[in-house]
Amino acid sequence: SMQGHSIELVVNGQSHALAIDPRQSLLDVLRETLDLTGTKKGCNQGACGACTILVDGKRVVSCLTLAAMHDGGEITTIEGIANGEELHPLQTAFIEHEGFQCGYCTPGQIMSGIGCISEGHAGSPDEIRFWMSGNICRCGAYPGIVAAVADAAERS
């Protein structure tokens, strides 16, 4: 139905007035309503981190939160972090350090890594492993992921 709960989301700097189903997760609104499919759905129950985005600068697993709770929120997804043609420094670091294999977990890892760095939780490999532990990589690309976050943290 076109009748829904009215919210406004600012996604990657662009404002969207939306009529949503109040039961929709933020993840489903991003992927299905806004067609921003860079954010991945892994477990859909908060256990894998594939759906990690930033809301008002803070890391959020978007499968576990209702879009309706974020009226007026500033959302950043993997589609919004590059500066035109120029990759975000953490994207570059993931390439340089081979922080991915199949790539399914990568958008969530990168968004979580951006949060981890901005929180000041990327001071050592152990600290990065701890604060990134909600982001599961089935391919086991952890050494590259940790190296990429550490490298980007040092440069930021």
For binding to ligand FES (CB under 6 A), which residues are involved?
41-44, 46-51, 61, 63, 100-106, 137-139, 141
Q: Which is nearer to ligand FES, 65 or 153 (CB)?
A: 65
Minimum distance from CB of 143 to ligand FES (Å)?
12
Task: Give dist(CA 19, CA 2) in Å, integer.
Answer: 7
Three-class DSSP category at 55: strand
Q: Which is nearer to ligand FES, 49 or 89 (CB)?
A: 49
End-to-end CA distance of the chain: 46
Minimum distance from CB of 95 to ligand FES (Å)?
13
Q: Which is nearer to ligand FES, 15 or 138 (CB)?
A: 138
Minimum distance from CB of 101 to ligand FES (Å)?
4
Minimum distance from CB of 20 to ligand FES (Å)?
18
- What tokens were used for 33? 């309503």
CA–CA distance from 78 to each of 34, 70, 102, 130 (Å)? 14, 18, 16, 22
Q: Which is nearer to ligand FES, 17 or 143 (CB)?
A: 143
* ∠ CA 97-39-155, rounded to 5°: 35
Minimum distance from CB of 84 to ligand FES (Å)?
26
Q: Which is nearer to ligand FES, 44 or 118 (CB)?
A: 44
Query: Which amino acid, residue 77?
Result: T
Task: Give dist(CA 27, CA 21) in Å, integer.
Answer: 13
